[in-house]
Amino acid sequence: MPLSAESLTKQFIRESKNANCFSAVDDVSLRLEEGTVTVLTGRSGGGKTTVLNMMSGLLAPTKGRVLLDDSDIYSLADKELSRLRNRRFGVIPQGQTAIHSLNVMQNIMLPYTLYNERADEDTLKRAEELLERLDIAGLSASKPAELSGGELRRMAIARAVIKKPDFIFADEPTGDLDDENTKTVFEFLRSAADEGAAVLIVTHEECAAAYADRVMKMASGKIV
């Protein structure tokens, strides 16, 4: 089942001479299909993160709908939406979101612990494999404060995919990475799509197109 954004608009308050609000996103429609990678590019401030946040259930649109299984995710009660996000969405946010009192492995397992779910043997094995694939295997017991920016980013990626989400939202997932790790991360997201996920990547990296089924560009709140 795809996730469909229909005519999403997000207005924020910003005082200026002519108006006191502006549209960060203006009438954007976008469909994420299983097994595909969609890349969203465009200049800073164009509205990419705002689109990603609305599609991933983090930010209610001013207008428009986000449809999953024929119903608008924003018609759900807060608790239900959080549960849905925990089960089916994996988000790699643009900023850092590590919990500093937990070690790397505990951070990665947060989607389970938040809902008091026990991770079985297979899940723990999967966590180890993810660390290996993302080249941070040796950091499992380290605290976030001991990690580099790029290592923290890869930890966030592992956490986003630990539950094998149907939809993966990656906001500048290679922002702090060198060329080699950039390639690792894009290959990783591509393989998640090949295993069935629908993946949305917001990025400035030109090379991302090589891993995408579709590349879209945003400027001034619109898809151009």
Ligand X SMILES: Nc1ncnc2c1ncn2[C@@H]1O[C@H](COP(=O)(O)OP(=O)(O)OP(=O)(O)O)[C@@H](O)[C@H]1O
Q: Which residues bind ligand X (CB under 6 A)?
A: 12, 24, 44-50, 94
Nearest approach in angstroms of CB 21 to ligand X is 9
Nearest approach in angstroms of CB 210 to ligand X is 20
Nearest approach in angstroms of CB 155 to Mg ion is 20
Would you count residue 49 as binding Mg ion (CB under 5 A)?
yes
| Residues 6 or more apart in contact with residue 171 via CB below 8 angstroms | 48, 49, 52, 91, 92, 93, 94, 202
Catalogue the E-assigned strands of 33-125: 37-42, 63-68, 71-72, 89-92
> Which of Mg ion, ligand X, none lies near 45, with the C-beta cut-off 5 to 8 A by kind?
ligand X
Using an 8 Å Cβ cutoff, are 35 and 198 in contact?
yes
> Which of Mg ion, ligand X, none lies near 24, with the C-beta cut-off 5 to 8 A by kind?
ligand X
| Residues 6 or more apart in contact with residue 204 via CB below 8 angstroms | 41, 172
How far, in Å, CA of 55 to CA of 36, rounded? 16
Closest CA to 110 of 53, 189, 185, 163: 163
> Which of ligand X, Mg ion, none lies near 50, with the C-beta cut-off 5 to 8 A by kind?
ligand X
Nearer CB in complex with ligand X: 2/175 = 175
Phi, psi of 143 (to 5 degrees): -90, 150
> Which of Mg ion, ligand X, none lies near 126, with the C-beta cut-off 5 to 8 A by kind?
none
How far, in Å, CA of 49 to CA of 60, rounded? 13
Nearest approach in angstroms of CB 126 to ligand X is 30
Q: Give the three-state DSSP class for 44.
A: coil
Nearer CB in complex with ligand X: 50/56 = 50
Would you count residue 53 as binding Mg ion (CB under 5 A)?
no
Q: Give the three-state DSSP class for 121.
A: helix
Using an 8 Å Cβ cutoff, are 31 and 57 in contact?
no
Helix 179-194 / helix 149-161 crossing angle, nearest 10 deg: 0
Nearest approach in angstroms of CB 92 to ligand X is 13
Would you count residue 203 as binding Mg ion (CB under 5 A)?
no
Nearest approach in angstroms of CB 16 to Mg ion is 21
Nearer CB in complex with ligand X: 26/166 = 26
Using CB under 5 A as the binding rule, the residues of this chain from 85 to 144 that contact Mg ion are 94
> Which of ligand X, Mg ion, none lies near 91, with the C-beta cut-off 5 to 8 A by kind?
none
Both tokens of 106, joined, read: 């505990």
Summarize as ranges the residues that interact with Mg ion (CB under 5 A): 49, 94
